[in-house]
Structure 1
Amino acid sequence: MEQNVTESVPLRAHPLALPTPTPVRWNRSARARRVSLRIDPRAGEVVVTLPMRSGRRAGLQLLTTHAAWVKERLASLAPAVPLSPGQEVNLGGLPHVIRHDPALRGPATLAPGAILVGGDGEFVARRVADFLRAEGRRRICERVAVHAARLGVKAKRITLKDTRSRWGSCAPDGSLAFSWRLVMAPDWVLDYVVAHEVAHLRELNHSARFWTLVTALTPDRDAAQEWLRKNGPALLRVG
């Protein structure tokens, strides 16, 4: 059983060369065999995972040792992008302004260069997020159908998640899962991720045969991988 606690580690309380205050999330995990440290780009916080028998002192020692790395990684995070009126959000790689009109009814809709959302202002973020997820599902399912038809395969189900480390996955039973945040990436990047996972329906590995299938489905493999490496972390900062 894991215990999760989130707290700040002020510079004055602990002599760490970190921004003040630095958000640190402490995870205690029965599966952990050693103390580990990572940056959660979506939350913009440091995550320290401790084995059940390790104390916080071990985590603080790790933070001290890697303080420069932590500081650099936190500073390099893209700014957080709230789903609020007037904010720009990419859709298919193109900027769209969130426009709130209380008089509008129904779910958020798409207009040229804008996402239109009505109702009370306090629900704007939720309605925009719902719109992005629905639009992501529509676009991803469309590309799954195209690529699956080319390979003569069929996905058992398609699920959209809010993952932090994987853009897509294929389970042994043929179920596909994707990050809804792909809807913000350029269409050719989304297409590559979908092609990658659909190819796994034929080859559940990363063999030469698998990559041959991916290359046959999409011409943008290398460019898409590079785009995700450079720009993917920024997608996690939206919402």
Structure 2
Amino acid sequence: MLFRRQDRKAPPRGGFESIELVLDGEPLAVTVRRHPKAQRLTLRVRAVARDVTLTAPPHVPLSAARDFVHRHREWVRVRLVRLPEMVPFEAGAVVPVRGEPHLIVHRPDERGTVWLDGALNGAHGGMPALCVAGEAPHIARRVRDHLKREARAELMRAVRRHAAALKVEVGRITLRDTASRWGSCSAKGDLSFSWRLIMAPPFVLDYLAAHEVAHRLEMNHGPRYWRLVEAIFPRRAEAEAWLRHNGAGLHRYG
């Protein structure tokens, strides 16, 4: 919906702008982001951050932005309700590891940190389990640390394989928890990945490794770059389709 420039009064400079919206009796802060190239008011509900933002042109007064948000109250409410529930790393939770659901099982009396139980003889309902030793308050941290270690090991193996195929060298490999991208490659050849890729099927993680390694030869997304990617990872289309449909859901865990 376009906002007509009837009121050209600019919003106050400096400070943080937000609009309070009450949904089902609970206050919700809608962040207002001013963008110089914006031509209209745009509401967005972000699944990863689970927040609501309003992008607005600089000239639109806050009062008009507030009216716009309140007119679209039901639109916001419906999209927030549709967001998948968050799944904390706690005993009894089911989380994906390499694309397969795993049950988190607390083993307070056993030694160690986190290990995999293959659910032999029908244990855990036939589902593989991530067993966690120690006290309950440490379960979340231990599961997260375990997944990060697994992600680093898998990504390093995949990166080395693809780097050898393209005859390139890479720098440091770091893990992050980014919401906007799954991986990146710096001009120096340092690679960064989201540790949450360990929750995706292995071919998806492998694709992201190939994607970033190929940037060592082409720091762009032109035709030559995609030919390089597909030469070392022919399942590109399948991996990208999986990420489009399932990638955002990985951020609901932990």
Q: Same fold (TM over 0.5)?
A: yes
2:178 maps to which residue?
Answer: 163
Higher mean Cα deviation, 148-157 or 53-62?
53-62
Aligned partner letter, 2:85: P
Q: CA deviation at 1:54?
A: 7.4
Measured in 1, the distance between the counterparts of 2:180 and 2:198 equals 16
Paired residue for 1:91?
97
| Partner Cα distance (1:68, 1:101) in 2 | 45
Shift, 1:48, TM fit: 4.0
Q: For 2:179, what is the secondary structure of its paired residue?
A: coil
Residue in 2 aligned with 1:26? 31
Match of 2:44 among 38, 41, 56: 38
Counterpart residue type for residue 106 of structure 1: G
2:107 and 2:44 map into 1 onto residues whose CA distance is 41
Q: Matched residue of 1:86: which SS? A: coil
Is 1:219–2:224 an aligned residue pair? Answer: no
Q: CA deviation at 1:104?
A: 2.6
For each residue in 1:66-96, what CA deviation from the matched residue of structure 2 results, as whole angstroms up to 9, or x when unmatched?
5455344323322211111111111110111
* Cα distance in structure 2, aligned partners of 1:218 and 1:114: 31
State the distance in 2 between where 1:7 and 1:125 align: 34
In structure 1, how many angstroms separate the alpha carbons of the residues matched to 2:135 and 2:115? Answer: 16
Which amino acid is 2:76 matched to?
A: V
State the TM-score, normalizing by the size of structure 1.
0.83
The answer to whether 1:124 aligns with 2:139 is: yes
Which residue identity does 1:199 align to in structure 2? A
- State the partner residue of 2:123: none
What are structure 1's unaligned runs of at least 5 residues? 12-18
Post-superposition shift, 1:37? 3.9
Distance 1:204 1:85, change over 3 A: same
| Structure of higher CA gyration radius | 2
Distance change (3 Å), C-alpha of 1:97 and 1:203: same
SS at match of 2:52: strand
Q: TM-score, normalised by structure 2?
A: 0.79
Instruction: State the Cα RMSD in Å.
Output: 2.8
CA-CA distance at 1:220 after TM superposition: 1.2
| Offset at residue 149 of structure 1 (A) | 0.8
Q: CA deviation at 1:105?
A: 3.0
Is residue 215 of structure 2 the alignment partner of residue 191 of structure 1? no
Q: CA–CA distance in 1 between the matches of 2:158 and 2:21?
A: 45
The separation in 2 between residues aligned to 1:172 and 1:121, in whole angstroms, is 43
| Residue aligning to 2:169 | 154
Tell me the residue number matched to 2:76: 70
> 1:134 maps to which residue?
149
Partner residue of 1:180?
A: 195
Q: In the TM superposition, what whole-angstrom CA distance separates every residue of 1:158-180 from its partner, at most 9, and x where no partner exists?
A: 11111112111111121111111
Whether contact under 8 Å (1:24, 1:48) holds in the other structure is no
Kindly state the Cα deviation for residue 207 of structure 1 after the two structures are TM-superposed.
Answer: 1.3
2:88 corresponds to which residue?
Answer: 82
Are 1:10 and 2:22 an aligned pair? yes
Change (3 A) 1:117 1:69: same
Using the alignment, how far apart are the partners of 1:80 and 1:149 within structure 2?
39
**How far apart, CA to CA, are the structure 2 residues paired with 1:123 and 1:179?**
22
The CA deviation at 1:51 is: 8.5
